[in-house]
Amino acid sequence: MKRLVVSILLSALLLSPLAGWAANNNDDWRNLSPKEKDKVLRNYQRWQHLPPEDKEHLREEWDRWQRLPQDRRERLKRRYEERERRDNR
């Protein structure tokens, strides 16, 4: 019994990095470009320092965004991207 427990622990020890590795991997994240990943990380760090009322507002905006019809979302997205491109010039 003792040996069985030791064997299981050894196996768990051996496979634990892999389990963590597998758990931390996500197709969505992997499919992002380095620029997009950088954006996500930057936004996350910014989010952590936002005041609670701003966080609440952004959560509400997110819910509202998700409730918008698909075509309207795409239109707004396009407009935002145009504006971003214009601002970057």
Q: How far is it, in rounded angstroms, from Cα 50 to Cα 56?
A: 10
Query: Token pair for residue 28?
Result: 């969505």
C-alpha distance from residue 43 to each of 4, 17, 18, 40 (Å): 47, 28, 28, 5
State which of positions 25-64 bind other proteins (CB under 8 A).
25-26, 28-30, 32, 36-37, 39-41, 43-44, 46-47, 58, 61-62, 64
Binding site for other proteins (CB under 8 A): 2-3, 6-7, 10-11, 14-15, 18, 21-26, 28-30, 32, 36-37, 39-41, 43-44, 46-47, 58, 61-62, 64-65, 75-77, 79-80, 83-84
